Amino acid sequence: MENERLRALPGVDTLLHNDASADLLRTFGRPLTTTAVRQVLAESRAKLTSDALDRTPPSATELIERAASWLREQNEPTLHELINATGVILHTNLGRAPLSDEAQDAMLSVARDYSTLEFDIVSGKRSNRSIHTETLLCRVTGAEAALVVNNNAAALLLVLRALAQHKGVVISRGQLVEIGGGFRLPDVLNQSGGKLIEVGTTNRTHLHDYEDAILAIENQAALILRMHHSNFRIIGFTTEPDLPDIVKLGHKHGLPVVDNLGSGALLETTAFGLRHEPTVQESLSSGADVVCFSGDKLVGGPQAGILVGRKSFLNELRVHPLARAIRADKLCLAALSATMLHYLKDEVTQKIPVWRMISMSLSEIEIRSQRLADAIGGQIIPGQSTIGGGSLPTEQLITQLVVLPVPGVQSFTKRLRHRRIITRIQDDRVVFDLRTVPPSSDNMLISTIQQLLA
C-alpha cells in the first residue's frame, strides 16, 4: 500500500518538465527550482509514510504550487522597507534615521557606477576617501578636522585604542553606561586596552574628584572621557561638572578631553519644544579635543561614527591600523555628504526626515489623522511621540493618535506586520501615530487597513 502510494508521486524530472514549472524556472533558475521540487517531494514522501490521515498522493499541479510557495518564501528578502506608525522617530530596530531624497540619490549614483572615492580628478592620482565628508563636517560643526568610521561604537573604540592603550581613561561613575545592544562602556574600554579610572559616585561627581584621581595615578592617565547619558536620566540630588571646567582641568594636567555625544545634535533642540540636547558645536567651543557621535541619530544621516576635533588628534586616529578596519564605505560617505549639505543650506527641517518629523506641526498631524480616522472608523486622541535612539530619553512630542478598537488586537497587529505596517498597542487598542509615517504613504496605509478590516 505504502509503496504504491509512493510510486504514485511524480519524479523530479516529470515535475520540472511540467508546463506549470516554466514560470518558476524562468524566475528562480534551474538549480533553485530543482531544490524546491526535491524539497516538496521529500515532504510528501514523509507524509505518505507517516501515520497521517491524509494519505492521498498530491497531484503534479499541487506539488508545483507547493514548490512555488516554498521558492517565494525562501527567496523573499528579510530586510525590506516598512511603515513605522509607532511614533518613535529614531527606532533602532526599524533602522533609525530614514534618509533624505538627496542622500538616497547620492548613494544610488555611487552604488551604480564607479566613483571618485579615492581618486583625484584634477591630478589623476590616488586621493583619500575622507575628503568627501571632512570639509563639510568642519564647516557645519566648526571643527578643525573630521573623520568618519563605521558607527559611533567603532569611533569610541578607535579613540580609546589610539589615545589611551595601556593608560588610564578618567570617567565619572555616573557615565558608565550601557546603551543597548550589549554596548557597555567598561567592555569597550577593555577591548581598547585602556584602563578605567572611575571618579565620583553614581549621582554626584565633582571637579575635584577628577583632579584627585588624576593626581593619584601620576602620569598614568591618557585622557578624560565624557559620555552622554544617552538612554537614561539621573534626576534628584545630582551634579556633574560642566564640560568647559572638565576641559580646563584636563588641559591643566596635559590631558585631552574626549566627548562622546551619542546622538550628536547639530541643531538647538529647544527650538522644537524639546529639552536642550548638548550640540556638537557647543562641545567643540567648550574646548573638547575630540567629539564623537552617530550619523544616524539626530544627525539624520546614514549609519556612521563621526569624529570631529583637533587636527593633531584626528591625524593620530586617521593613521591608526584600527581605522582601516572600521572605515566608512562609499555609500555611507555619499549619503553623509548630502546630509551635511542640508545643514549648510539651512534646509534641515524641510529635507531631513528625522527633523521633518520632529518639527511637524500638530495641525498637519491632526489633518492627516482625521482623514485616517474617518477612513477606517477610528478615533483621535492626544498622545506622545518619542525621539528614541537613546536620544533625549524622557522627551516627548505632543501628537495626535488614531486609535482603532478591533476584536483580537494581537492578531490584527500581526496581520498589519505581515503587510509591513508597525504599530503600537495601547489599552488593548491599535494605535497609529502618523508623525513617523511619510505623508506620501497615507493612502497606502488607509487602503491596507481597510482591506484588513473588510
* Residues in touch with ligand PLP (CB under 6 A): 151-153, 179, 227-228, 230, 260, 262-263, 294, 305, 390
Closest CB to ligand PLP among residues 156, 314: 156
Cβ nearer to ligand PLP, comparing 153 with 323: 153
Residues paired with 308 in a beta bridge: 146, 291
Grid cell for residue 312 = 593633531
The residue among 368, 352, 419 whose CA lies nearest residue 89 is 352
Instruction: Kindly state the smallest distance separating residue 309's Cβ from ligand PLP, in Å.
Output: 16
Where on the phi/psi map is residue 240: left (φ > 0), alpha (ψ -120 to 50), or beta? beta
- The residue (of 260 and 400) whose beta carbon lies closer to ligand PLP is 260
Write out the DSSP string of 101-124.
HHHHHHHHHHHHS---TTB-TTT-
Would you say 179 or 449 has its CB closer to ligand PLP? 179
* Closest listed residue to residue 266, CA positions, set 246, 288, 284, 241: 284
Smallest separation (angstroms) from ligand PLP to the CB of 227: 6
CB of 286 to ligand PLP, least distance (A): 17
- Cα–Cα dist 77/72, whole Å: 10
Taking the complex as a whole, how short is the minimal distance between the CB of residue 228 and ligand PLP, in angstroms?
A: 4
Taking the least distance from each CB to ligand PLP, the nearer of 5 and 173 is 173
CB nearer to ligand PLP: give 140 or 387.
Answer: 387
Alpha-carbon distance of 89 to 438, in angstroms, equals: 12
State the nearest-atom distance from the C-beta of 343 to ligand PLP, in Å: 18
The minimum distance between CB 63 and ligand PLP, in angstroms, equals 47
d(CA 30, CA 373): 48
What are the residues whose beta carbons fall under 8 Å from the beta carbon of 183, sequence distance 6 or more? 153
**Residue 218 C-beta: closest distance to ligand PLP, Å:** 30
Smallest separation (angstroms) from ligand PLP to the CB of 391: 7
Rounded to whole angstroms, the Cα distance separating 430 from 412 reads: 8
130 or 294: whose CB is closer to ligand PLP? 294
Helix (H) or strand (E) holding 429: strand 429-433
Give the closest residue to 216 by CA, choosing from 238, 193, 199, 234: 199
The residue whose Cβ lies closest to ligand PLP is 262
Question: Of 392, 360, 202, which is closest to residue 279 (Cα–Cα)?
Answer: 392
- The smaller minimum CB distance to ligand PLP, of residues 228 and 342, is found at 228
